[in-house]
Structure formats: C-alpha cells, structure tokens
A = this chain, B = another copy of it.
Amino acid sequence: MASNPDELVRSFISLLSARDLDAALVLVSEDCEYDNVPMGKTHGPEGIRAALTGFFAMAEDIEWETLQQVASGDLAHGTVLNERDDRLRLSGSWRSLPVCGVFEVRNGLITLWRDYFDRETLMKVMSPGGAS
C-alpha cells in the first residue's frame, strides 16, 4: 500500500508499464478523469482500460520511465506532477514519447490523470515505420 501520493503514482505508472491494467485500475476512483490533453478524455477504470488496451496490445514492449516527480499533500488530498519518458517497442525499434503528467489524489485513489504531450509525436511513435 502506498503511504503518500508520490508512492501511489509511482506504483500506478509501474503497473501500467508492466501492462498490468487490472492491478493499476484498482488505484483509480470510479469517476477518475483520464485526459490525454491534445486528444480527449475518458472516465473511470473502464474508460482508461478502453483507451489503453489497444495501445498496450500493439506494443512489443513497454517501458515508462519517471524522470522527475514532485508531490504535495497526502493521500486524502494530494497532487503529483511528473516528467516521463514513455517508451514502447514496435516493429523491433524503441520509440519515445516525452510526457508530463498531472495527478490528483483523493481518499487514497487517483481521481485525475492528465498527460501533456505532442500529438504528432505520438502518431509517429505508433506508426509501424515510425521514427524514435
């Protein structure tokens, strides 16, 4: 169990990086907002599952690395911002999506996950012949 918002978000990213959606989604609230800023939002564990299942299925490997993370508050009411290198392997090559994430924590669960990135970079990352 996480003892603070920093640990909670690190666990969440680590479980997603392992593509363990079932375990990751236990950490989000029923009304959790998942906002991929340049693309749109989904809500709740099943919204996140729907958004990520296809993405995870197409990747040969996933490695999301948290480069920096800063947190405030506690598990009752906390905020976490992180800078990540979300890498995936596709067609045998590793590609990198630079991301900044914003997380809000309420009552021990993640209630907001908002990722900032460049949409065009994601499209390149996900294309079979995409550049790294």
> B-contacting residues of A (Cβ < 8 Å)?
37-38, 68, 70-72, 79-83, 98-102, 114, 116-121
CB-CB under 8 A from A37, the residues of chain B are 98, 118
Closest to A69 in B: B81
Q: Considering the chains assembled together, what is the distance between the CA atoms of A100 and B119 in angstroms?
A: 14
- Distance (Å) between the CB of A13 and the closest chain B CB? 15
B68 engages A102 (CB within 8 Å):
yes
- Distance (Å) between the CB of A67 and the closest chain B CB? 8
A118 engages B38 (CB within 8 Å):
yes
CB-CB under 8 A from A98, the residues of chain B are 37, 116
Closest to A100 in B: B100
Closest to A78 in B: B70
CB-CB under 8 A from A99, the residues of chain B are 116
B119 engages A116 (CB within 8 Å):
no
CB-CB under 8 A from A102, the residues of chain B are 68, 83, 100
- Distance (Å) between the CB of A89 and the closest chain B CB? 21
- Distance (Å) between the CB of A38 and the closest chain B CB? 4
Pick 20 A–B contacts, CB within 8 A, sort by A: A68-B79, A68-B81, A68-B102, A70-B70, A70-B72, A70-B79, A70-B81, A81-B81, A81-B82, A81-B100, A83-B100, A83-B114, A83-B116, A98-B116, A99-B116, A100-B100, A116-B116, A116-B118, A118-B120, A120-B120
